[in-house]
Amino acid sequence: MAKKALFKVDEKVCEECSLALRRFIGRMKGVESIDVEGGQIAVLFDETKMAEEELGRLTRDSLEKLGHKVIE
């Protein structure tokens, strides 16, 4: 069953960063889709294939590499 994880970021994510984020985590086992909506990232994933904690860590690391910070 798919679950949605939301990550708020410090500023709007540009199209280039959005594409890079999809390349970084979009192909990982368990990740079904990534939507960038202004200052928020929505990741639909299968929690039987990837733990939410791991997804959170990978998403935060990827966003930080792109120059964004996740707002807790």
- pLDDT in the model for residue 39: 85
For domain 2-71, which architecture applies?
Answer: 2-Layer Sandwich (3.30)
Sequence spans of domains, the chain: 2-71
Q: Give the pLDDT confidence of 1-59 residue by residue, as tens digits.
A: 799 999 999 888 888 989 999 999 998 999 999 999 878 999 999 999 999 999 999 99
Instruction: Give the torsion sign (CA, 5, 19, 22, 20).
Output: negative
φ, ψ at 62 (rounded to 5°): -65, -45
